[in-house]
Amino acid sequence: MLNNENQGRRDFLKGTATGIGFGTLASMGLFSYSPLREFFLPKIERKFADFGACKSIKVTNISETSWFDNATLMGDIKGAGGLLVNQYDFNWAPFGDGTGLAKGSYDRGIATIKHLLPEKVDEAWDIQKKLAVNADNAGGFSCLMDVERLDGSRKKYLLDVGWNYQWIHKCFKREGIDKMLASGEIDTIILSHEHFDHFYGLPVAMKYNPNVKLIIPEGFYKEGLQYIKDSGHTGELVIAKNGLYEIEPGFSTYVFDVPIICRVFGEQSIFANVQDKGLVSITGCCHQGIIKFANTAYKELKYDNDQMYGIYGGLHISPFDDWDPKYDDLVISLGKWDFKKVGCNHCTGLLTAEKFIAAGYPVVKGTSRFRSQSHSYLGNGDIINFG
Amino acid sequence: MEQPLYLEERSLVKRWGGPWSILLNTAFVLALFYASWWIFQDPRGIMRMYTPYVGYMWCRWLLVIMIWIAYIFDFWPFKRKWLNETHPVVKGVILTTLTVVLFTVVLKVFFETILGEYSIAYFSPDRLQELGIVEFYAEEYSAQAILMFAAIASWISPAWVVAAESSPWGNLKQPVKGFTILMFTFFISVIVYFVAFHSHMAILFDPWQSFTAITPPWWEDFANTVHGNFNIAWIMCCTVIVWIHETIWERYPFCMIKTNWLRRCSSFFGIIVVAIALSFFLYYAQELVWGEAVRGTRRLMSPDWRWLHVGEMAIFWLVPALFMHFYMKNGINGYSKPVNALFRTVVSVIAAVILYYVYYKTAHLFLGTQKGFSHPQQFPMIPMIWFINIMLINYWFMDGWPGWRLAQHEEAKQDVYAHDEVRMTPRFNYGLAVGAVCGIVVYFAVVYILPTFGNTFTIFN
């Protein structure tokens, strides 16, 4: 009798243990991907943070050609060990030390030119041409943002400072950036992120105004912070924390804690609210992704007409003319955000721009000058107006 | 009469009492893992194969070849005498070298030459370069296609032995049995590859290769992405569930079925059903913690990465489950088979959550990977599978050396645990019904607390 009871209890426990597994797995399979699951999903509550408005914004493309030959750059990346290798180890200019690909270091590289910065940037680059790997392939990304305030006054900001000292120096002179820096007309530089092609050209800007205010996103490594000092910067350094950083009414940066290739971490992009038009997104590389960027604005910010109005910059989709089906997801889904003006270039990738055009998106075409490769892009020297 | 596999036949005993064998092997496996990681995979190391796809392809394929050697060919052409008498370190070196050589042949001859040169260009990096793809991406694309094949094979190959019990070829002798099962599972894997991944590869190129593949892929609307990661998700879960079924579940509950064909079919397809349920839940868990995925975004919020992360999370579960099985004799053995399986599941899931947390918190500090969840080059599957490979080398090829050794004849049965037979009695059925209700409650309790849990245990601010 006792044995029977015991056996019955044991059978019950075995059944219960089996049933728990069965019930849990059945619920997982039947409920987790059904429409009913939305009941438990966090609800999106739009915050409508008011960051003001500006009247218009004009963006001048100083340089979007970060490198001139994809195969050369990718050859370097492959040779060094792939996309996760620390960017300061590549032996790329301006941190070349003559030891060859993937054997570089910030300290050894900067020691070869530090005494020339920031005054003799062209001479420093000549030294690096001999020491660094493929220095001539370097270009850089930089653009000028000219904000028209509601009272009609104007204010200029520089986004990023390129890579190759000599190339970006030439581009600065072509667009008059050297004079704007020297006169204080540009007194703030926003660095989107720490990547070589957006950041390494810093000494060229410092040559004309070392006292300029620098706004960088959190996530810079110690080498990057040291480079800011070694470039000759003497002005205010603002490290923007993740989230919204308001610069002036209608013009803010937004920092994303995004992991990026070559060991870089964190990027800030710019939101501008143009009166009666809507939101303009200006990006360096947009490693966070343009849809994430737009979706963040949708959830966090208040902007005119509740309209996504324009995009300018690198959208980091196929920067090396590579492709992945997830980029097709982006091309397919961008349309629902209803942007009215798309000015893309740089790491957007030519193939992406062509797919955007084929999908019927309002891509603003460029003039293909100053070594920019295609009319599908807003190229070097091109201007786009929002507002 | 079917001969048991060598791995089932052999018996291992600890060299030392207490926890010393476990601790020693853990240290040994970790040391081997880190040294080999540095030599082969680490972006700061020597060969830097973590590009990531080249390194990923190698670790996936080494796993498949080890399964072929141990499970499908049952160590043929090596004799039992050699396996029993050779020093474990010598065996480990020889069998690991054989694994690498076999994959090199499969890679260079089958994929890159036979397929890549005469059939489908994307299997050959050289062909892709000739077509204008830069060298780096030519190798990455090719490796991606080849590793997707391995993802399928690492599910189908063991599933046929473990779930389908090698049927109907179980009684054949080696190597006929091995080659027959290899050919058959390879055939199935080819079909699954074309259905699950060929369309993904076809839209890697511009224009979409619409005449050679279904574009957009058939799963687009269901998965909210055109990316093949949707299939990676459920296939990875299949791989994981095969091993969970074989190890900590001891083939329960399907082993209750006495009719051979029914048990084998139920096991094979049951594993797929459980894997799909798991993949749906792991996707949902991410939605509960991070919010609904937004198509077209990158990384954390994108549906394609979420599906990939389903597979990654499943692998985080497999590591502690295999560790429990190899080095702790499944850890919990004092109860009936269903209760043991339930407790082991709970313990291994908790261990997986801890491993997940610790990995993301620290991996970038010592593996050379990128900080954060969703970087395109951050594949926790690579270090996890690499670690599993090292455990398999240690346990399958080296008989658990140095902490374990092959048992002598008289020691062989000492670790066998006796279990009650599980029968469908009325009390069992009553318990089953009560347990099913409890299981549903457990599920919804987990769903309810996951958002809070996610907010409490923030890995990256």
pLDDT at residue B414 above 70? no
Which tokens go with B436? 């099913």
Give a yes or no: residue A95 inside a domain. no
Q: Give me the residues paired with residue B13 across strands.
A: B405
Give a yes or no: residue A9 inside a domain. no
The residue segments making up the domain with residue A324 are: 51-68+143-386
Q: Is B459 on the interface with A (CB under 8 A)?
A: no
The answer to whether the Cβ–Cβ distance between A14 and B337 falls below 8 Å is yes
Give me the mean pLDDT over the A340-360 stretch: 92
The minimal CB distance from A10 to the residues B336, B372, B437 is found for B336
Cβ-Cβ contacts under 8 Å, B341 against chain A = 17, 21
Q: What is the pLDDT of residues A46-76, one digit of tens each?
A: 999 999 999 999 999 999 999 999 889 989 9
Q: Is B44 on the interface with A (CB under 8 A)?
A: yes
Percent of chain A predicted with pLDDT > 90:
83
> How many CA atoms lie less than 13 Å away from B107 in the CB half-sphere?
22
The answer to whether the Cβ–Cβ distance between A19 and B439 falls below 8 Å is yes
Percent of chain B predicted with pLDDT > 90:
84
Q: Give me the residues paired with residue A272 across strands.
A: A251, A280
Cβ-Cβ contacts under 8 Å, B437 against chain A = 19, 23
- Three-state DSSP class for residue A81: coil
The domain ranges of chain B are 6-422
Give a yes or no: residue A336 inside a domain. yes
pLDDT at residue B376 above 70? no
Q: Is B218 on the interface with A (CB under 8 A)?
A: no
The answer to whether the Cβ–Cβ distance between A289 and B422 falls below 8 Å is no
pLDDT at residue A321 above 80? no
Confidence at B299, pLDDT banded by 50, 70, 90: confident
Cβ-Cβ contacts under 8 Å, A291 against chain B = 294-298
- 3-state percent breakdown (helix, strand, coil) of chain B, nearest 5: 70, 0, 30
Which tokens go with A302? 């208040």
Torsion of CA B52, B56, B59, B65, to 10 degrees: -150
Q: What is the pLDDT of residue B412?
A: 60
What are the distances in angstroms from CA B433 to CA A20, A79, A300?
9, 60, 47
Give me the mean pLDDT over the B448-457 stretch: 88
Helices (H), chain A: 2-31, 70-80, 106-111, 121-131, 165-175, 177-183, 196-199, 202-208, 222-230, 290-300, 325-334, 350-358
Confidence at B420, pLDDT banded by 50, 70, 90: low
Which tokens go with A162? 């390129």
Torsion of CA A79, A83, A86, A88, to 10 degrees: 60
Give a yes or no: residue A233 inside a domain. yes
A103 to chain B, closest Cα gap in Å: 10
CATH of the domain at A294: 3.60.15.10
Give me the mean pLDDT over the A10-35 stretch: 97
| Separation between Cα atoms, residue B197 and residue A300, nearest integer Å | 38
Q: What is the pLDDT of residues B67-109, one digit of tens each?
A: 999 999 999 999 999 999 999 999 999 999 999 999 999 999 9
| Separation between Cα atoms, residue A201 and residue A161, nearest integer Å | 5
Cα angle vertex A19, ends A16, A23, to 5°?
A: 140
Q: Give me the residues paired with residue B278 across strands.
A: none
Closest Cα in chain A to B454: A42
Which tokens go with A232? 């000759």
Q: What is the pLDDT of residues B162-221, one digit of tens each?
A: 999 999 999 999 999 999 999 999 999 999 999 999 999 999 998 899 999 999 999 999
Q: How many CB pairs under 8 A join A and B?
A: 283
The gap from C-alpha A83 to its chain's centroid, in whole angstroms, comes to 16
Residue A367 near residue A377, CB atoms below 8 Å: no
| Separation between Cα atoms, residue B444 and residue B438, nearest integer Å | 10
The answer to whether the Cβ–Cβ distance between A322 and B438 falls below 8 Å is no
How many residues does this entry show for chain B? 461
pTM: 0.89
Backbone dihedral angles phi then psi of residue B87, each to the nearest 5 degrees: -60, 135
The answer to whether the Cβ–Cβ distance between A326 and B345 falls below 8 Å is no
Nearest Cα to B330, choosing from B243, B397, B269? Answer: B243
Give me the mean pLDDT over the B13-28 stretch: 93
